[in-house]
Amino acid sequence: MSARILVVDDEPNMREMLADVLGRAGHAACACASGEDALRLLESATFDGVVMDLKLPGISGAEALRALRRRADRIPVIMISAYGTVDTAVAALKDGAFDFLVKPFRNQDLLHAVQRGLEASGLLRLARDSRPGFDLGPGAPPLLGESPPMRDLFSQMQRLADTDVPVLVIGETGTGKELVARALHWSGGRRHGPWIAVNCAALPEALIESELFGHERGAFTGAHAAKLGRFEAGDGGTVFLDEIGELAPNAQAKLLRTLESGEVTRVGGVASRHVNARVIAATNVDLQSAVQTGRFRPDLYYRLAVVTLRLPPLRARLNDLEPLSHHFIRQFESKYGRELGPFAAETLAAMRAYTWPGNVRELMHAIERAVILADPRAVLPPAAERTGEGATAGETCAPGNAPTPTTCGAAIRPLKDAVRDAERDAVVAALRVTDGARAAAAELLDVSVKTLYNKIRELGIDLGLNVQ
């Protein structure tokens, strides 16, 4: 179970070492250098625990601890110090620290304190109980997510896994529609049957019917032998039809007949064969609009969409950004034999401000790029793709290079401005996704409604929405 830990220490070497130790233990660590930065990050992002030095520039660690306790009393805080005494330790524990470690300490002591803090707060138990045990099959990537939209999705999937009802999975490109389909198959009663995935958009129109339903010998030029179709191959298991909106009209008619009768007829054949395959379809296009324009059969649409699962875009589940990033970091560090240091606070803020149009797939490739270059800053897209000041058309920030005022002005803005803009973008995105409903937006952002109201006022947000 990966937890999100905020590391606060003004010494760069200690900060990097702590983040590295936590990362190697499977946690996602974010680091900053002051109590002020820590409190700002805790307002704009969700963390499961904090490791904080007692002696910090600006407000002290003790002051930051007291302020944190007033804002988020459930988060376990491990205080550390090179000047620890019994009195300072007792004072920190009275102020609400979960534990106090004196430098130098063993890595294992730190990990043990963090683990006990997480368990005491109930976060690990809550996450473990609420995360469904989906099996995606051998070699498949995990289906990750603990944000409210993903928890709702997982809850629906748990109820559907052991049924045979057709499911339509919709979502933007890169959101993980095939992973959801795989999870429904491998976690349900058909897990021992075949899993047949078909990309409808990749099939030549002349061969679609043959691929789906098979053909008899001599059915057409080149049909030298009979061929088993995907539905017959999927008998007893699941047939996943990806990009279903691209299916040709003739194939739509035959698919509807198969769904209604449970039978297939091979191209060039007359005998029908009974098949028992569950159908899960997916698309990133608006099938309802396709029905209205005559590009998709309405009767097939209603037959496929008995249950519809909607995958949220990554911009609507920003609390999953860090655990997803951490998973991909471990995956590509193992693949390429390289290590990627922790993300700086400004990098994390910029990642949360970015809209990720390619969703989780784009994040995965961005992490791969950063690991290959061994530069955490390389995870950010080129400046021309970000909303920043100072970059003109055609100018980009080369990954790993220091930005200049003329090419990447947004990258060298003061941290407090970058954090403020990241907060504003996150709030605006949540309000847009929820059509201005503040309670729903607060749930997406994992903050209280009161905090959201304060942020809207503080950041001067006016979307012109009908906000209730």
For the stretch 347-388, pLDDT in tens is 888 888 888 989 999 999 999 999 998 888 888 876 524 443
Q: SS in 3 state form for the chain? A: CCCEEEEECCCHHHHHHHHHHHHHCCCEEEEECCHHHHHHHHHHCCCCEEEEECCCCCCCHHHHHHHHHHHCCCCCEEEEECCCCHHHHHHHHHCCCCEEEECCCCHHHHHHHHHHHHHHHCHHHHHHHHCCCCCCCCCCCCCCCCCHHHHHHHHHHHHHCCCCCCEEEECCCCCCHHHHHHHHHHCCCCCCCCEEEEEHHHCCHHHHHHHHHCECCCCCCCCCCCECCHHHHCCCCEEEEECHHHCCHHHHHHHHHHHHHCEEECECCCCEEECCCEEEEEECCCHHHHHHCCCCCHHHHHHHCCEEEECCCHHHCHHHHHHHHHHHHHHHHHHHCCCCCCEEHHHHHHHHHCCCCCHHHHHHHHHHHHHHHCCHHHHCCCHHHCCCCCCCCCCCCCCCCCCCCCCCHHHHCCHHHHHHHHHHHHHHHHHHHCCCCHHHHHHHHCCCHHHHHHHHHHHCCCCCCCCC
Report pLDDT for 127: 42
Work out the mean pLDDT of the chain and round it to a whole number. Answer: 81
Tell me: domain 148-310, CATH 3.40.50.300, correct?
yes
468 vs 464: CA distance, rounded Å: 12
Report pLDDT for 409: 36
14-18, 69-73, 319-323, 325-329: segment of lowest average pLDDT? 69-73
Q: What percent of the chain is predicted at pLDDT more than 70?
A: 83
421-450 mean pLDDT: 75
Report pLDDT for 126: 42
Strands 263-265 and 272-274: antiparallel
- Our CA angle for 53, 56, 60, nearest 5°, is 95
Fold of 1-131: Rossmann fold (3.40.50)
Q: What is the pTM of this model?
A: 0.56
66-84 mean pLDDT: 82
| Residue spans per domain, the chain | 1-131, 148-310
Report pLDDT for 291: 93
Report pLDDT for 7: 94
8-22 mean pLDDT: 91
The confidence band for 145, taking pLDDT boundaries of 50, 70 and 90, is confident
Phi-psi domain of 189 (left: phi exceeds 0; alpha: psi -120 through 50; beta: other):
alpha
Report pLDDT for 141: 62
Report pLDDT for 72: 67
Report pLDDT for 95: 82
Q: Is residue 166 reached through a cis peptide bond, with omega within 30 degrees of 0 on the bond before it? A: no
Cβ proximity of 387 and 424 under 8 Å: no
221-225 mean pLDDT: 83
